[in-house]
Amino acid sequence: MTALQQTDPEIYKLLACERERQENRLELIASENFTSPAVMEAQGSIFTNKYAEGYPGKRYYGGCVHADVVEELARTRGRALFGCDHINVQPHSGTQANMAVYFTAMKPGDAYLGMNLAHGGHLSMGHPKNFSGIIYHVIPYAVRADDHRIDYDQVRDLARKHKPRMIIAGASAYPRIIRYDLFAEIAAEVGAILMADIAHVAGLVAAGQHPSPFPHADFVTTTTHKTLRGPRGGLVMCKQQYAAALDSCIFPGMQGGPLMHVIAAKAVALGEAMTQQFKEYQARVVQNAKALASGLLEEGFRLISGGTDNHLVLIDLTDKGINGAQAQEYLESAGITVNKNSIPFDPLPPGKASGIRIGTPAVTTRNMGVEEMRLIAGMISKVLTQYANEDVVTRTRNEVLELCRQFPLYPQNGNGILHG
């Protein structure tokens, strides 16, 4: 009996249920992944007990000798992995990482260019109820109607017209390569700071599967839990000239004590990302996404931009007679986890949406390959075209379960509810 099982059997049972859900469902949410047992071990470690306000060598508490080494390891590995001048590993999330850059680079009321949320942008790029839309003046840029690619001409025109303090290159649901070099040209022309949000593609960037924002961007933010395959958290990187201001903005400006157990897990994930195995994994993520997109096209689905260059695919359901919320529910009943998602020029509100977003990081972590992506495309097609047929849904759910059993999530079966 574990300590948790003895102390709180209710939570223990819920953890066991969640473990079973992750093991026996196809996880296709593009922003989710499965960490290694080593990452989870670090995150669930003794460092959860330690308060360490400040930075290595400049803490407000005693007893930080080991915390200093852990944080410096995370910083050293991050700089080496991404080739940046400076990195701060303390942000608790991707949105807080973005907030740190906004607070460092802009004043309240300043204007910035960010990707239209309905065209693939993120909540922290100008949603009216998010700090990014409340404190600052967002000027959204869009994708073209004919090919759903970023309209760089529009970005340039908007930049020339509004002279924004900052331009953001990044997205949450954009299946194509982002041209950081073009964004840099535009920013330089109007004297704007360039920020790149690589939360979705950080692992691909680290492995050379997507262009790097360095040395083009002044600031680069990312989460650590998507393609980077680490714990839930954020990172901020910047050019050396902004380092002191950025660090001061994060602490004491935005956050108090850093989550040292999460920083330890970030260090582990960054170390894993420096291996050849990780590079090969990211190549398979992209290969699988292309195969999944190809399979969906063969099944008669419309894809935003016609395919993918990265880890995600955005499916347009407007010709299927269902919306994204319904598709999410139908697929969930068959053991396939996706998320509803707005598509460019979507006639429906975000709560319903006309599309679903799917990605391959998690299923690739399970060692599924191109052949399995073809099978998954067929499963998605069967469910979304025959969702009213309970026999079809049941058979698909059984097929999903069998496929998951062929590719166990944590086959090592270590000790503990999280690992085995």
Q: Is 51 an active-site residue?
A: yes
Q: Of 223, 224, 227, 308, which is the active-site residue?
A: 223
Cβ–Cβ under 8 Å, residues 234 and 222: yes
Residue with tokens 């920020």: 195
The C-alpha atoms of residue 326 and residue 356 are separated, in whole angstroms, by: 10
Residue 315: helix, strand or coil by DSSP?
A: strand
Q: Give the CA angle between residues 202, 206, 207 to the nearest 5°.
A: 120
Q: Of 27, 197, 309, 346, which is the active-site residue?
A: 197
Q: Order of strands, edge to edge, in the sheet holding 219-223?
A: 86-88, 234-238, 219-223, 193-197, 166-170, 111-115, 137-141
Q: Of 23, 32, 41, 53, which is the active-site residue?
A: 53
With the CA atoms of 414, 415, 418 and 420 taken in that order, what torsion angle do they form, in degrees rounded to the nearest 10? 50
Q: Of 12, 19, 51, 79, which is the active-site residue?
A: 51
Q: Of 50, 59, 77, 226, which is the active-site residue?
A: 226
Tell me the binding residues for (6S)-5,6,7,8-tetrahydrofolate: 117, 121-123
Q: Of 19, 149, 156, 232, which is the active-site residue?
A: 232
Q: Is 59 an active-site residue?
A: no
Nearest to 250 by CA among 227, 225, 219: 219
Tell me the binding residues: 117, 121-123
Q: Is 226 an active-site residue?
A: yes
Nearest to 32 by CA among 264, 359, 278, 289: 359
C-alpha separations of 61 from 68, 258, 262 in Å: 11, 12, 18
Q: Which residues are the active-site residues?
A: 51, 53, 197, 223, 226, 232
